[in-house]
Amino acid sequence: MTRILGIETSCDETAVAIVRDGCDIESNVIASQIDLHARYGGVMPEQASRAHLRAILPTLEEALASAHADWSSLDAVAVTHGPGLAGALLVGVNVAKGLAFAQKKPLLGINHLEGHVYANWLDAVEAPDFPLVGLIVSGGHTDLVLADAHGRYRRLGRTRDDAAGEAFDKVARMLGLGFPGGPLIERAAQDGDPLRFRFPRAWLEPDTWDVSFSGLKTAVLHGVRDLGIDTDHATPQERLAKLPVADLAASFQAAVVDVLATRAVRAARVFGASRLVLGGGVAANRTLLKTISERADVQVLCPPPALCTDNAAMIAAAAYFRFRAGERSTLALDVEPNLPIA
């Protein structure tokens, strides 16, 4: 049995978890900063670092206590070292290094995006199989990857501009919905007509796996303007009162989902994947999962919504397979804010 303590502080969640054998969650504690950033309508990097500093030790204590774990029963310390906000990552990496040194435990630096893929191993009825195509859709990233074994990835495509989650957050603001936008758009879209507005899908060149959401975002902006909103000055209340928010949200969501589903399903087919796995905050979107599941010829796996968004259990899960393969980081581990998945 291998028990790994995972730490995640790459963006706006301070998270610590303990996971057994890469799949059994013994504790999974998340201190969210959503209330802090909601006031500004987005993540404020400086505020995020300070909030991580305040939250990290209580979060660690709670994760140890709720797993009834003491240090002698832990095999390694894993931490997200990129990609993410530099100052935020530093908090987790420094705490992890201090703990590994003081407790004489192996240290593993983990890629946050790899963590999102490994959320699919947590509490899984059926563990994913290789080769797999992974669609990682978060607030900062939109990557399509092919993995033929643990730790062996090839990035097939990515967004050329906005990440999928970023597009949800920006459009939510245009509609007066608040932050974070993804869940609010999904909820508003439930009562909306996805066919009312014909928003564009950017298919780019035929031979690319890349996606783009900036044209869609601009189309929504123009649509909102055409409906009589002064997009520079209108308050959220004015937007909500004047706009057909449900139909706009549903039509926007349909466009994002159509593009992501088309790319992911085709990649799984072309590369002969045995599984299509989703991860990242946007994978919490049930319309995305439903659409991909309906269109795919292979089994589609997606973590429960709470494990799609940022957490530390996924970091401990990813670390387990690297630990088992003999990988270790040194105490020279540094943050890598722009670390790619592959």
Judged by the rule CB under 5 A, the positions of this chain that interact with Zn ion are 138, 310
Residue 64's binding partner among Zn ion, ligand KG4, none (Cβ under 5 to 8 angstroms by kind) is none
Beta strands in the chain (DSSP E): 3-8, 13-20, 24-32, 76-82, 107-111, 132-137, 142-149, 152-158, 275-279, 299-301
Q: Which helix (H) or strand (E) is 236 found in, with range?
A: helix 236-242
Is residue 82 a contact residue for ligand KG4 (CB under 6 A)?
no
Nearest to 59 by CA among 16, 11, 118, 23: 16
Number of residues that bind ligand KG4 (CB under 6 A): 19
Least distance between Zn ion and beta carbon 213 (Å): 17
Is residue 11 a contact residue for ligand KG4 (CB under 6 A)?
yes
Task: Provide the 3-class DSSP secondary structure of residue 13.
Answer: strand
Q: How far apart are CA 61 and CA 99, in angstroms?
A: 12
Q: Under a CB-based contact definition with an 8 Å cutoff, are residues 168 and 217 in contact?
A: no
Is residue 194 a contact residue for ligand KG4 (CB under 6 A)?
no
Is residue 252 a contact residue for ligand KG4 (CB under 6 A)?
no
Decide whether 143 or 169 has the Cβ nearer to ligand KG4. Answer: 169
b/e code 266-283 from CB counts within 10 Å (16+ = b): ebbeeeebebbbbbbbbb
Q: Which of residues 105-164 bind ligand KG4 (CB under 6 A)?
A: 138-140
Residue 192's binding partner among ligand KG4, Zn ion, none (Cβ under 5 to 8 angstroms by kind) is none
Is residue 182 a contact residue for ligand KG4 (CB under 6 A)?
yes
What residues contact residue 97 under an 8 Å CB cut-off, 6+ apart? 107, 331, 333
Is 191 exposed, middle or buried (CB count within 10 Å of its CB: 0-12, 13-18, 19+)?
A: exposed
Residue 26's binding partner among Zn ion, ligand KG4, none (Cβ under 5 to 8 angstroms by kind) is none
Ramachandran class of 30: left when φ > 0, alpha when ψ lies in -120 to 50, beta otherwise: beta
Is residue 178 a contact residue for ligand KG4 (CB under 6 A)?
no
Cβ-proximal residue to Zn ion, closest one: 138
Among 159, 212, 291, 309, the residue binding ligand KG4 under the rule CB under 6 A is 309
Q: Which of residues 24-43 bind ligand KG4 (CB under 6 A)?
A: none
Task: Provide the 3-class DSSP secondary structure of residue 220.
Answer: helix
Among 115, 192, 223, 280, the residue binding ligand KG4 under the rule CB under 6 A is 280
Decide whether 115 or 176 has the Cβ nearer to Zn ion. Answer: 115
Least distance between ligand KG4 and beta carbon 116 (Å): 6
Cβ-proximal residue to ligand KG4, closest one: 182
Among 92, 109, 176, 181, the residue binding ligand KG4 under the rule CB under 6 A is 181
Decide whether 138 or 287 has the Cβ nearer to Zn ion. Answer: 138
Please give the full DSSP string across 19-70, using - where no structure is assigned. EETTTEEEEEEEEE-HHHHHTTTS--HHHHHHHHHHHHHHHHHHHHHHTT--
Least distance between ligand KG4 and beta carbon 95 (Å): 19
User: Which residues are near ligand KG4 by CB under 6 A?
Assistant: 11, 138-140, 165, 168-169, 180-183, 186, 280-282, 284-285, 309-310
